[in-house]
Structure 1
Amino acid sequence: MTNPPSKLTTSWGAPVGDNQNSITAGSRGPTLIQDVHLLDKLAHFNRERVPERVVHAKGAGAHGYFEVTRDVSPYTKAAFLSEVGKRTPLFVRFSTVAGENGSADTVRDPRGFAVKFYTEEGNYDLVGNNTPVFFIRDAIKFPDFIHTQKRHPQTHLKNPTAVWDFWSLSPESLHQVTILMSDRGIPATFRHMHGFGSHTFKWVNAEGKGVWVKYHFKTEQGVKNLTSDVAAQLAGENPDYHTEDLFNSIEEGDFPAWTLYVQVMPLEDAETYRFDPFDVTKVWSQKDYPLMEVGRMVLDRNPSNYFTEVEQATFSPGTLVPGIEVSPDKMLQGRLFAYADAHRYRVGANHQALPINRPLSEVNHYQRDGQMRFDSNGGGSVYYEPNSLGGPKESPADRPSPHPVSGTADSTAYDRDDHYTQAGDLYRLMSEEERSRLVSTIVTAMKPVPREDILARQIGHFYKADPEYGRRVAEGLGLPVPQEE
C-alpha cells in the first residue's frame, strides 16, 4: 500500500488548490494578476537557467523586410500594414524549443518562428512556432511541461517517462503530439517550414471595429522534412545544419521568403464556433475562415555578429502596436508576462535599448536607471508623469479597444474539452505511408517508458482520436488494444 501523495504547495509553503487552471474572470478570462501561484511559477521558471534562454536556446536569425500585398485597412489600423507596397524592416529568429544552446538542429521538436517588425509606431513582435497549435492551453502548466522536456535532475538525461506521463495526463496535447510525431516533426531546414502565430489575436481598424485573426506564414520554398534516420545522422555529422543552411542561403543570394496570410473571424462568431477560438490546442477550419493574403516576408541579410543580434534579440507577444491586440487565450495571457520577464532577467532591464531590439521610431518614456544603461539615461529631462514641464503624454486615440469580461474569479478551465476530433481529423488526412511513419515514430519514442499504466493511458488518447490510430500504436508496443467505450 502506497502512501498518499503530499500536498503540492507554493514556494512559501501554502497548499495549492488548483494547479491545472489559472484564475480568470470567467472561462475566457482575462487572467487575473491576483493568481499569485501562477505568477510565482512563471517568474521562478524564467530564472531557472542562466544565462541561455529557458526555452528556444538554440537558434539562428536573419534580417529582412515585409512588404504588404493586400489592403487590410478594413481590418486593422496598424500603420505598417496600411498600404499595398509598403515595406517594413524586420528580424527573424528560428529555433528549437527544448534543447540547450549546443544541441543539434535536427532533433524532433517544434521550431520557434519569431518575427520583430520595426514599424513607425514601435516594434511589433509576432512570436510563434512552425505549428498552428501547442501542447497546452493554460500558462499555469507551462513550467511543468518544459520540465518534462529538459533533463532528469538526478541522471541529467532526457526522460521519456516524464514526457509521456505528462502528455498522457494532459489530453489537450494530443493534436500537437500528432503533428510532432508526424513527418512534419523535423523540418529539412528553417527555410522549408511554415510559421504560425498559433494564438488568436485581435485586429482593430480606424473606426474601432475589431476581428479575431490567426497568422499563417507559408514558405515559398515548399515544405520539406527529414526522416528520423537522416536527422539522426545529421545530428552527429553537423549539429548546426539548419543554422549553416540559413546563413549560406542568404550569403549566396538565395533569399528565403514566406507569404503571410490571416484567417479572419468576426468577433461574434467566437460565441458560437464549434471549437473555442481562443484555445491554442485547436485550429480554425480554413473552410470556415479562408486564408487571406496580407504580404510577403523576405530574409536578405545575415547578422554581422551572432551574440549582439541573434542571442540578444528579445521577443514578446506583448510587444504590440496600435491596431493589433491580444485575445483571451489563456496561454497567450501568461506569455504576455513570462516572455518580457525572461528578457529582463536574462539580458537586463534595458534590453529594449540594445540595437537589435531598439525601435526605429522615437522612444519617449520615464524609465530610468537599471543595469547596463548605456545611453544618456534621459539626461536632465523630466522623469515623472503627470508633469507640467512638457514631458511626453498619453494619446487617448491609441488606447486598446474595450473587451467585455464577466464571471466569478476562480481557477476556471476552458468550457470545451474535445481534445480528440482535430487530432483524429489530422490522422485521417494522412496517407497510409504517413500514418505508418507516424505510428513507427510514436512507438519508438514510447518504448523506453517502463510504466505500462502511462503507455496505456496515452494509447487511450490515440484510440479516442481514431480507433485505428490507437490500435496500431498498441500493437507496435505489444500492449492490449483499448476496449471500446
Structure 2
Amino acid sequence: MSEDKKLTTATGCPIFDNQNSITAGPRGPLLMQDVQLLEQMQQFNRERIPERVVHAKGSGAYGTFTVTRAIPEYTKAKFLSEVGKQTEVFLRFSTVAGERGAADAERDVRGFAVKFYTEEGNWDLVGNNTPVFFIRDPYKFANFIHTQKRHPQTNLRDANMQWDFWSLNPESLHQVTILFSDRGLPASYRHMNGYGSHTLSFVNAAGERFWCKFHFKTRQGVKNITGEESANLIGIDRESHQRDLFQAIERGEYPSWTVKVQIMTDEQAKTFKWNPFDLTKVWPHKEYPLMEIGILELNRNPVNYFAEVEQAAFSPSVFVPGIGPSPDKVLQARLMSYPDAQRYRIGTNYQQLPVNQPRCPVYHYQRDGALSTGYGGSSPNYYPNSDSSTPKEAPEYREPGLALGDVVADRYDSRDQDDYTQAGNLWRIFSEDEKNRTAKAIAGALSGARQDIQMRQLCHFFRADMDYGQRVAKALNIDIDPSFLQQNQQNNPQPVTA
C-alpha cells in the first residue's frame, strides 16, 4: 500500500487544516500569521503570465518524428541522418490574431510550431498553416499585428484598420487570398497542413549550403468548414479545436503529418525569378518538387496545460548543426524578437522548464536570473578559462560563411592581431619610478592568482617589452630561465619557466 500524501506548504511544511482561516475567535478578523492563507492568495495573484501578443490561444501535444528518407547529401543534422531514426517532438497549434479567450473556429491563420528534441539540441520550426505571410519586411510586423487586434478607442476588431493596412500593402494579397479562401477555416488542427514558411538553410558535412522549405502534409486529409458552419460551431463550442485534438489522442487516433522539403541550390537561388527569401512568395512545386523525409505523429497529451502548453516557448533562432537561417528579412528579425518575448513572458530561464529543456546534455556559461536552478554549480561562469573540466568550443561544427554580395558573413577571428606593440610603446615612455610603481601594482594584484596563471600573464608582459616582464617577475619574486630571455628577443610566444 502506498504511503498517504500529506498536504504541505510550498516549502514542505505539513498542513493540518486547509479549509479554515486563522481568526480571532469564531467570528473575528483574520490574522496575518496565517501564512498558509497568505501563500495561497499571493500565489493565486501570480498564476497568470503575460499572454503571447500573437498566437495567444493554442493547443499542444507530444509525439515523434520518424525519418523515412535520410538526406545527408543536404544536411549534417544528425536527427535526419538515417531511415527509421526517431526524435521526440512537441507541437503547438494556435490562432494568430485572437486573444486567449478567442474561439478556435474563427477565420484566422493558424500557428504550427514544432520543437524537435534532437541529440544535438532542440530545433524549433515556428511556422503557420500557410506557406506565406502578409509582409516581407519586419518593419511592418508590429503595425500589421495592431490592425488585427482591437481599435484603441472602441476596443473592437475593426475592418477599417485591417483593410486600410492590406490595401496599402499589396504584398499581403497572397496571404489575404489564402485567409479568405476555404483554407482560412480549417475544421480542426488535425485536418490542416503546416509550413515552415520561411526559407531555411541546410549545410552538409562537406560544407555545402542548400536552401530549403518545410511542408507538413496532414495524413488525415485537408478538411475545412464554411463561414456558416464556423459561426454555428463557435456558438456551441469555443474550444472546438482543443477538444478535437485532445480527445482524438485520448482515443488513440493519433494525428500525423508527412514531412516534406523543397531544396534549392545556391546557384539556383541566384537566378530564381523572385527573391527566394521573400516570405510572401512560394517556390513552385513543379520547379522544386516536394521530397518526403519523414512522418510526424502526435501521440501523447500534456498532463498540465499551463506548464506544458502555455509555458512552451518556441523561437526560430533555435537551430542544430546543419540547419540555419537565411537572408529572409522577417526571419532575421524573428531570430531576436521571439526569444526576447519568451524572456519577458516567462522569464530569463524559460529554457530550464521541462517542456523547453533539451533532451541532450547542456553546457554553457549563462548564469543566474529569476528562477535559476543553479545551473553550473561552482564551475567558472566565464570563457575562456583554464579549467580543463569546463565546456570548450567544438570547432568541428563550424559551418561555412554566407556570401552577401562582396562580403561574407562569418565569425572572423579577432585574436590574430598585434596585441603587444602599443602596450610596449606605452611602457617605454614611463619614467623609471612609474615603471616600478606599475610593476609593483601588477604584482600585488597578480600574486593572488595561481602560479600557472602568473606564468601565462608574464609571457604577455615579456612579449610587450623585456624590461616590462622582468620587473613584474622580480616584483613577484619569480626567477626566469635566462634561455627564455634570449629566445623571447625575437618576440616569439614561449612558455615561461621559473
Q: After superposition, where does 1:293-372 map in structure 2 within 5 Å?
A: 293-372=292-371
- CA distance in 1 between counterparts of 2:211 and 2:333 reads 19
Q: Which residue of 2 aligns with 1:279?
A: 278
Q: Which residue of 2 aligns with 1:87?
A: 86
Q: Deviations over 1:208-263 (max 9, x none)?
A: 11110000000000000010011111112100000000000000000000000000
- CA distance in 2 between counterparts of 1:263 and 1:63 reads 25
Q: After superposition, where does 1:75-474 map in structure 2 within 5 Å?
A: 75-373=74-372, 375-390=373-388, 391-406=390-405
- CA distance in 2 between counterparts of 1:156 and 1:249 reads 36
1:177 is matched by which residue type in structure 2? Answer: V
Q: Deviations over 1:271-294 (max 9, x none)?
A: 111111100100000000000000
1:381 is matched by which residue type in structure 2? Answer: S
1:381: how far off? 0.8
Which range moved further: 267-276 or 129-138?
267-276
1:149 is matched by which residue type in structure 2? Answer: Q
- CA distance in 1 between counterparts of 2:135 and 2:399 reads 27
CA contact (8 A) 1:136 1:172 kept: yes
- CA distance in 2 between counterparts of 1:171 and 1:397 reads 45
Q: Which residue of 1 aligns with 2:432?
A: none
1:387 is matched by which residue type in structure 2? Answer: N
1:50: how far off? 6.4
Q: Which residue of 2 aligns with 1:466?
A: none
2:72 is matched by which residue type in structure 1? Answer: S
1:404: how far off? 1.1
CA contact (8 A) 2:148 2:162 kept: yes
CA contact (8 A) 2:255 2:297 kept: yes
1:377: how far off? 3.0
2:249 is matched by which residue type in structure 1? Answer: I
The percentage of aligned residue pairs carrying the same residue is 62
SS in structure 2 opposite 1:172?
A: helix
SS in structure 2 opposite 1:283?
A: coil
Q: Which residue of 2 aligns with 1:72?
A: 71
CA contact (8 A) 1:139 1:330 kept: yes
CA contact (8 A) 1:350 1:372 kept: yes
SS in structure 1 opposite 2:116?
A: strand
1:205 is matched by which residue type in structure 2? Answer: N
SS in structure 1 opposite 2:89?
A: strand
Task: Note closer, same or farther for the CA distance 1:407–1:238 as it changes in structure 2 (3 Å cut).
Answer: farther
- CA distance in 1 between counterparts of 2:216 and 2:267 reads 26
- CA distance in 1 between counterparts of 2:61 and 2:352 reads 19
SS in structure 2 opposite 1:404?
A: strand
SS in structure 1 opposite 2:127?
A: strand
SS in structure 1 opposite 2:97?
A: coil
1:138: how far off? 1.0
Q: Deviations over 1:25-83 (max 9, x none)?
A: xxxxxxxxxxxxxxxxxxxxxxxx96000100000000000000002111100010010
- CA distance in 2 between counterparts of 1:50 and 1:229 reads 35
1:228 is matched by which residue type in structure 2? Answer: G
CA contact (8 A) 1:215 1:260 kept: yes
CA contact (8 A) 1:110 1:129 kept: yes
Scaled by the length of structure 1, the TM-score of the pair is: 0.73
- CA distance in 2 between counterparts of 1:301 and 1:256 reads 11
2:171 is matched by which residue type in structure 1? Answer: E
- CA distance in 1 between counterparts of 2:358 and 2:183 reads 35
2:382 is matched by which residue type in structure 1? Answer: Y
1:407: how far off? 7.1
How many residues get paired?
Answer: 359
RMSD of aligned alpha carbons: 1.2
Task: Specify every segment of 5 or more residues in structure 1 that has no aligned partner in the other structure, as ranges.
Answer: 1-48, 409-485
- CA distance in 1 between counterparts of 2:399 and 2:223 reads 40
CA contact (8 A) 2:94 2:110 kept: yes
SS in structure 2 opposite 1:298?
A: strand
The structure with higher relative contact order (CA 8 Å, sep 6+) is 1
Q: Deviations over 1:87-123 (max 9, x none)?
A: 0000000000000001000111000000000000000
Q: Deviations over 1:434-461 (max 9, x none)?
A: xxxxxxxxxxxxxxxxxxxxxxxxxxxx
- CA distance in 1 between counterparts of 2:187 and 2:313 reads 26
SS in structure 2 opposite 1:268?
A: helix
- CA distance in 1 between counterparts of 2:55 and 2:326 reads 24
SS in structure 1 opposite 2:191?
A: coil
Q: Which residue of 2 aligns with 1:412?
A: none
- CA distance in 2 between counterparts of 1:197 and 1:86 reads 21
2:307 is matched by which residue type in structure 1? Answer: T
Scaled by the length of structure 2, the TM-score of the pair is: 0.71
SS in structure 2 opposite 1:161?
A: helix
- CA distance in 2 between counterparts of 1:306 and 1:296 reads 25
